[in-house]
Amino acid sequence: MTEIPHDHLFDSSLAILADPYGFIGKRCDRVGSDLFRTRLLLKENICIRGRDAAEVFYDQDRFYRAGAVVPRAEIVLTGRGGVQGLDHDPHHHRKAMFTSVVGPHTACDVANRCTAEWRRRAKLWAASKGDISFYNETREVIARAVCDWAGVPISEAELPRITWMLSLLYEFPVAVGWRHWRARYYRKVADRWAAQIIEDTRAGKIKPPAGTALDAVANHRDEHGHLLPAKVAGVELQNILRPTIAVSVFVVYAAKMLHEHPECREPLATGGDEYLELFVQEVRRHCPFFPAVAARVRQDFEWRGFHFPKDMRVIFGLHATNHDPKVWDKPEEFRPERFRNWQYDPFTFVPQGGGDRDKGHRCPGDRFSAEITKAAVKFLTEDIKFDVPPQDLSLEMKHMPALPRSRFNIRNVKVVS
């Protein structure tokens, strides 16, 4: 049996905080392997990357999710009792609720709602003499669209507060210091808000249309036929709203790539939906969203001659796999054309997880991610003209998700009639 290479540091906690996106890939390159052992907070972990590693990692007979995520991240990002921490039958049953409402047609519906809201706001931007934070505006655009689609009542006065609150949950789940504790506090506020919506729906005070996400979550019954506790149902409602609002990160990446790669504008204008698909997929591959996901070994097993002991936490590098040079030629280059002849493989392209979308742990909302980002690119290239003022567009690579420091500002907006 081959010994798994070990990181040279006694403990890599500070190293992973300093370079969360590059940590796994760089060390795999250094040891000449797709896996290595490392200590994080003095506990042993195995880090893996690559296509074959993804296929193993998303095998639910080999891995379980409960207790794998760092508690501070689980509390803020996914919440207690959510689908991400379930396994086998409970996971399949709960996941079916999500896939019943998050499908190709609903993704297009939400994207169309976003386009309508962007167009409405563009008229206001055109009247503004100052800079517009496209990221901040987009968060509210998507929040409005997804809440309307989901059947969640939210007034114009409430929209900025609810958007900001849910955004904190994906912007600062593993932040250090006061930002994390602020996000942790607002997680409790968000849980109360969402649980109250569930209770009001069950009491008939809120009447979402049949088939909407709120209707599905509020009335979902577990594998034993019981309604979910209101708090858990509220967590799952947030697990639809929050990741959709987080697509604003991909949207601002797309805006940044359009600005930095103006050569893409002509094929976007002439290549129709085909090149738009290539461009958006490359945005999702190239740009740093979340760096990694974790699971624990269900039972001892061997892979490639390496031993994986029971209950060992294994960290799979999403960013490292999307930038694996064995899979992607010159992965640090932004080249939409690389997807032209790409054969769909759920284990090589993992911007929001890998494996089967319906039964596995791949995020069912990745359809929303693609369609909303496509809608944003069409809006930016067809519906408005604008200037990009001087600003710092470098990515905050210690932040998860990494965002442009300026959040992408625009000015002198003109609506294309």
- What CATH code is carried by the domain that includes residue 289? 1.10.630.10
Please tell me the distance from the alpha carbon of residue 45 to that of residue 156, in angstroms, as a whole number: 46
Residue 361 has pLDDT above 50, yes or no: no
Q: What is the mean pLDDT of residues 99-104?
A: 76
Please tell me the distance from the alpha carbon of residue 24 to that of residue 292, in angstroms, as a whole number: 9
| Residue of 299, 325, 357, 335 whose CA lies nearest to 51 | 325
Can you give the pLDDT at residue 356?
Answer: 64
Residue 366 has pLDDT above 50, yes or no: yes
Task: Kindly report, residue by residue over 371-397, the tens digit of the pLDDT.
Answer: 999 999 999 999 999 999 999 999 999
The count of structural domains within the chain is: 1
Backbone angles phi, psi at 356, to 5 degrees: -75, 130
Q: What is the mean pLDDT of residues 261-276?
A: 94
Is residue 76 a part of any domain in this protein?
Answer: yes
Q: What is the mean pLDDT of residues 61-75?
A: 81
Is residue 8 a part of any domain in this protein?
Answer: no
Question: Residue 159: is it exposed, middle or buried by C-beta count within 10 angstroms (0-12/13-18/19+)?
Answer: middle
Residue pair 282/334 in contact by the 8 Å Cβ criterion: yes
Is residue 389 a part of any domain in this protein?
Answer: yes
Task: Kindly report, residue by residue over 177-218, the tens digit of the pLDDT.
Answer: 888 889 889 999 999 999 999 999 999 999 999 999 999 999
Is residue 6 a part of any domain in this protein?
Answer: no
- Helices within 348-389 (DSSP H only): 366-378
Structure-block tokens of residue 253? 């990446």
Structure-block tokens of residue 214? 């709120």
Please tell me the distance from the alpha carbon of residue 30 to that of residue 42, in angstroms, as a whole number: 22
Is residue 1 a part of any domain in this protein?
Answer: no
- Determine the distance from the C-alpha atom of residue 151 to the mean position of all C-alpha atoms in its chain, rounded to a whole number: 22
Cis peptide before 401 (omega within 30 of 0): yes
Is residue 233 a part of any domain in this protein?
Answer: yes
Is residue 2 a part of any domain in this protein?
Answer: no
Backbone angles phi, psi at 154, to 5 degrees: -150, 125
Is residue 31 a part of any domain in this protein?
Answer: yes
Share of the chain above pLDDT 90, in %: 74
Query: Domain span at residue 357?
Result: 13-415
Residue 310: what residue type?
K
Please tell me the distance from the alpha carbon of residue 193 to that of residue 164, in angstroms, as a whole number: 14
Q: What is the mean pLDDT of residues 344-360?
A: 76
Look over the chain and give the mean of its residue pLDDT values, rounded to a whole number.
91
Residue 242: what residue type?
R
